[in-house]
Amino acid sequence: MRTLPSQPQRLPFPYRAEAGVVSQLLSGLNGALDWAAAAHSARPWVQAVRDNPPPFWAMESLLKEYPISSAEGLALMRLAEALLRVPDAETAIALTADQLGRADFDGSGKHDGKALARLSSSAIALSKKFLPSSAGAAVESSGLFNKIGARTVVAATLRAVQLLGRQFVLGQTIGEAMNEATSSRKKLSNLRFSYDMLGEGARTDLDALKYLASYEKAIKSIAATARKDLATELNDGISIKLSALHPRYEDAQHERVMAELVPRVWGLCELAASANINLTIDAEEVDRLELSLDVFEALAAKVAEHCMPWQENGERPWAGLGLAMQAYQTRSLDLIQHIIAIGRKYKLRLMCRLVKGAYWDSEIKRAQEMGLPHYPVFTHKHHTDVSYLACAKALLDAPDAVYPQFAGHNAGTIAAILQMASRVVRAGRSSEHLNPTSQAGAAEPALPGRRRSAPPGGSEPHEMGSVGAQFELQRLHGMGEGIFREVLKNPLISCRVYAPVGSHRDLLAYLVRRLLENGANSSFVHQLADESIGMDLLLTSPLTLSRQSISGLEPEPSLPLPLDLYGPSRKNSAGLDLTVESMRAPLRAALLSTEVPKIAVFDTKLVSGPLSTGMSSYKKWSKIPVEERAAALRKAADALEQQLPKFCALLVKEAFKTWGDAVSEVREAVDFLRYYANEAERIMAPVALPGPTGETNELRLTARGVWVCISPWNFPLAIFMGQVAAALSTGNAVIAKPAEQTPGVAWEAVRLMHAAGVPEGALQLLHGPGETVGAALVAAPQIAGVVFTGSTQVAKIINRALAAKDGAIVPLIAETGGVNAMLVDSSALPEQVADAVVQSAFRSAGQRCSALRLLCVHESIADRMIEMIQGAAKELVLGDTANLATDVGPVIDAEA
């Protein structure tokens, strides 16, 4: 059984300092590119687009009128994301009213004096008047005119969102899409297409099989028009998403993915190979990159074994296996070099689609949430642009192993690629020629593909396309059409359109990624539509900007590193990415070396001793300046971070935590220590009070005495440390009584606190049952307060015991019971709901007070939602939590 698997790490550490990576990329581009010449070539394209702007309803124009950084743009984007999947009128009206009500469309937008722009804002503002005054207002409470008006507004809004979506979808079925492609080719003969069957990742195996059938159907449809006498790259192709073909496409499920997913994808490859069409695997999130490489290399080996020899019927070998790569990843160039090595190892020519990347926001958020040392993606657009150019150069320099496909809409980047390609030609790597002074200022590539060996017994048959282009450009359907209209005036330049296919319901997540990607102020598409941005600024050299940024001359603010997320207030806790081998290795070592300590049960007859020690220590500890107490807590936090592997191993062994939960719990404990250190310094500082002249009045908070902290077994480190840190930071002494199931974790935490400077008398640990040790401590007259996390029943017992005491009221701080509920309306994304429900309900085997207990789903989507949640739950792995693949471990004991 796999615990923490040891796997070779093919790529460098993903969380490296950005400046160092950019510096290496810039060095690799020295002498390879004349950006000024590239910008000169791009100017006519840009000017032509600006002279013939897209219509107002086009995406570029809408983003200019309503930027996503504005309230109006955000409102419209939320509507675009959710409205099409809402099946009931009431929710649709409420959603529309809510979003349109968040913005001022009367005064929004620049309009630039354009009548359609003014009319649009006026129409939206008028529409708001027909909607309920708030999302919660009932439609029925309005008059007949308003009821009819509200439904009309929603219907019109739905139609508008559908029209927006149609800009990005070539057809709702593969047949429709192919017909549209045929029409497009009548206008531009040098177009090819790669069809993408829209849909998010599968959550159930049934979903995965549906996506598989959809891909199979699409390949068979594309095959009907493909030509076997052409080079594979000259035919249309298909793009597939691995997460759509397996419900657990993640690194922790590596063995299962390789056993189940590879055969599914290979079946698609065989279909594509038999039809001589290309199949490209789409790029996804960073944490799946190494896994995708394993899948891709397994497929490459099969292609080399089954699809490379010339067939007896004279058909050429299949050269259509491809992979998309994201230039915004800091490891993008390393990835390309690895793919080139795979191509050479198996004597293949692999198709490589180079894209900028579409998951930037989620990658940034993930790194921040996980407390990683750096970001896995570049945080400046110009750094990504430099990475793209460096990757393009590497691809062009390896024509024997890769067929480059350059996807993007940046005119400067396109011109730079054509310039670099022309230099490859002049260097003698091709027999044909690029004319850098071609029409519209573009370079003219007519670069031959690699000649493959002749079939047995004869020379290579002569047919049209036996020598294909050395590379191709690519664009997304519905984007960059103006620029490519100019570029493709040169008939020798080939362009493949990435063409999404699917219903409007399937479009939504894809649409939002496109809007986010191109609605950012730094986006070329966004800036191209804004004529207030001058040509020189639009085509500024990313190399120059990047040299300035890494030398400290930042042209724009830098994003704080994940560990600096909270600014000067406190440091974010450092975490681990369990998909990275170098981060797993210390955990694996700790699992082997760490033993859970055996803690003796305390004899309650001796309780007076710890109480006396606590009172004595309290008098000394409370007099220590709060800054020194806070410093001890921060020192403990730093030590806990350094010992994260050890404490994770303890949590796995004693509390049956999964590795992911263990890492999160250690980080939460670190956050508690730093948070309470800061809060103590804030609230314990003297506050000057007003008073008569010559009189000084101050308000000071003081410690109370000895506190009893009773912590639970479901968070034996985080809640334990939170209770203790809050009491200690404010000058109190603590007697900690951890849950009897998990004393080892608490014992090691106390040792760490002592080593950090907390006196042994100020923090004592007593282990034993709550009925005896806990009861004795609560009943002790010396106790100044009790902090308890656990069941409501026990909290009531403690409360009654404290109330029965003579003397001053003893405070009880209790966190108990509760039912966590989730309300899901019909606008919610089903996949997101399924993820949240399964994680909340079953993480830690449901042994959390915050675990989901009650799920309320709108009846219009209930059946579909229940089916998806049930299917996702079936995919969970139950077992030993030392195994990285385990999702749900055992309950803590037989009683639980």
In this structure, are strands 350-355 and 321-326 parallel, antiparallel, or unpaired?
Answer: parallel
* Lowest-confidence segment of 27-36, 310-319, 332-341, 650-659 by average pLDDT: 310-319
Mean pLDDT of the chain: 86
CA–CA separation, 684 and 654 (whole Å): 37
Please give the pLDDT value at position 540: 94
Structure tokens, 6: 């040891």
CB 122: neighbour CB atoms within 10 A? 12
CB 688: neighbour CB atoms within 10 A? 9
Residues 568-597: tens digit of each pLDDT: 989 999 999 999 999 999 999 999 999 999
- Measure the N-to-C terminal CA separation of the chain; round to a whole number of Å: 26
Burial of 895 (0-12, 13-18, 19+ CB in 10 A): exposed
Q: Using 50, 70 and 90 to split pLDDT, how confident is the model at 428?
A: low
Question: Which region holds residue 175: left if phi is over 0, alpha if psi is between -120 and 50, else beta?
Answer: alpha
Q: Using 50, 70 and 90 to split pLDDT, how confident is the model at 174?
A: very high
Please give the pLDDT value at position 880: 95
- Opening angle at CA 163, ends 162 and 164, nearest 5: 90
Please give the pLDDT value at position 115: 42
Structure tokens, 639: 């030590």
Listed in sequence order, the residues at least 6 apart from 126 whose beta carbon sits closer than 8 Å to its beta carbon are none
Q: Using 50, 70 and 90 to split pLDDT, how confident is the model at 138?
A: very low
pLDDT at residue 436 is higher than 90: no
Listed in sequence order, the residues at least 6 apart from 404 whose beta carbon sits closer than 8 Å to its beta carbon are 352, 354, 392, 395, 396, 470, 471, 472
Residue 861's closest CA among 889, 812, 825?
A: 825
Give the pLDDT mean for 387-408: 97
Bridge partner residues of 239 (DSSP): 196, 280
With contact defined as beta carbons under 8 Å apart, do 70 and 103 qualify?
A: yes
With contact defined as beta carbons under 8 Å apart, do 41 and 418 qualify?
A: yes
pLDDT at residue 553 is higher than 70: no
CA–CA separation, 528 and 67 (whole Å): 14
- Opening angle at CA 683, ends 681 and 689, nearest 5: 120
With contact defined as beta carbons under 8 Å apart, do 103 and 71 qualify?
A: yes
pLDDT at residue 703 is higher than 60: yes
Dihedral over Cα of 716, 717, 720, 723: its sign = negative
pLDDT at residue 399 is higher than 50: yes
pLDDT at residue 117 is higher than 80: no
What 3-state class would DSSP assign to 123?
A: helix
pLDDT at residue 848 is higher than 70: yes
Pick among 3.40.50.1400, 3.40.640.10, 3.40.605.10, 3.40.50.2300: CATH of 581-687+699-816: 3.40.605.10
Bridge partner residues of 472 (DSSP): 405
With contact defined as beta carbons under 8 Å apart, do 621 and 731 qualify?
A: yes
Burial of 518 (0-12, 13-18, 19+ CB in 10 A): buried
Please give the pLDDT value at position 467: 28
Residue 13's closest CA among 588, 579, 648?
A: 579
171-178: long-range pairs with CB below 8 Å, 24+: 171/501, 172/501, 172/502, 172/503, 172/504, 173/501, 174/217, 174/218, 174/221, 174/222, 174/501, 175/221, 176/501, 177/499, 177/501, 178/221, 178/222, 178/225
Residue found under tokens 């009531």: 796
pLDDT at residue 418 is higher than 70: yes
Residue type present at position 668: E
Please give the pLDDT value at position 62: 66
Residues 256-289: tens digit of each pLDDT: 999 999 999 999 999 999 999 999 999 999 999 9
Residue 419's closest CA among 866, 23, 29, 880?
A: 29
Q: Which of the following is catalytic: 269, 391, 648, 849?
A: 849
What 3-state class would DSSP assign to 813?
A: strand
Q: Which of the following is catalytic: 481, 681, 815, 867?
A: 815
More confident residue, 751 or 53: 751
pLDDT at residue 143 is higher than 50: no
Domain boundaries, the chain: 25-53+167-447+467-550, 59-165, 581-687+699-816
What 3-state class would DSSP assign to 770?
A: helix
With contact defined as beta carbons under 8 Å apart, do 287 and 248 qualify?
A: no
Please give the pLDDT value at position 459: 31
* Lowest-confidence segment of 301-305, 547-551, 628-632 by average pLDDT: 547-551
* 3-state DSSP percent of the chain in helix, strand and coil, to 5: 50, 10, 40
Residue found under tokens 């450092």: 574
Please give the pLDDT value at position 414: 96
Query: What's the CATH code, domain 25-53+167-447+467-550?
Result: 3.20.20.220
CA–CA separation, 285 and 401 (whole Å): 25
CA–CA separation, 39 and 860 (whole Å): 54
CB 205: neighbour CB atoms within 10 A? 16
Residues 496-516: tens digit of each pLDDT: 999 999 886 776 666 666 666
pLDDT at residue 113 is higher than 80: no
DSSP code for 888: B
CA–CA separation, 284 and 292 (whole Å): 9
Residue found under tokens 């969970």: 876
b/e code 526-554 from CB counts within 10 Å (16+ = b): bbbbbeeeeeeebbbbbbebbbebbeeee
Residues 175-201: tens digit of each pLDDT: 999 999 999 999 888 899 999 998 889
Whole-prediction pTM value? Answer: 0.88
Residue 199's closest CA among 239, 161, 162?
A: 239
- Opening angle at CA 594, ends 588 and 596, nearest 5: 135
Structure tokens, 212: 């598989």
**Any catalytic annotation for residue 815?**
yes
Q: What is the DSSP string of 508-575?
A: HHHHHHHHHHHHSTT-HHHHHH-TTS-HHHHT--HHHHHHHHHTT--SSPPPPPGGGTTTTS-PPPP-
CA–CA separation, 497 and 476 (whole Å): 6
DSSP code for 697: E
Please give the pLDDT value at position 795: 96
**Any catalytic annotation for residue 679?**
no
Residues 50-99: tens digit of each pLDDT: 888 776 656 666 666 666 667 777 777 777 777 778 888 788 888 877 87
Please give the pLDDT value at position 84: 74
Residue 276's closest CA among 337, 243, 233, 306?
A: 233
Q: Using 50, 70 and 90 to split pLDDT, how confident is the model at 125?
A: low
Burial of 804 (0-12, 13-18, 19+ CB in 10 A): exposed
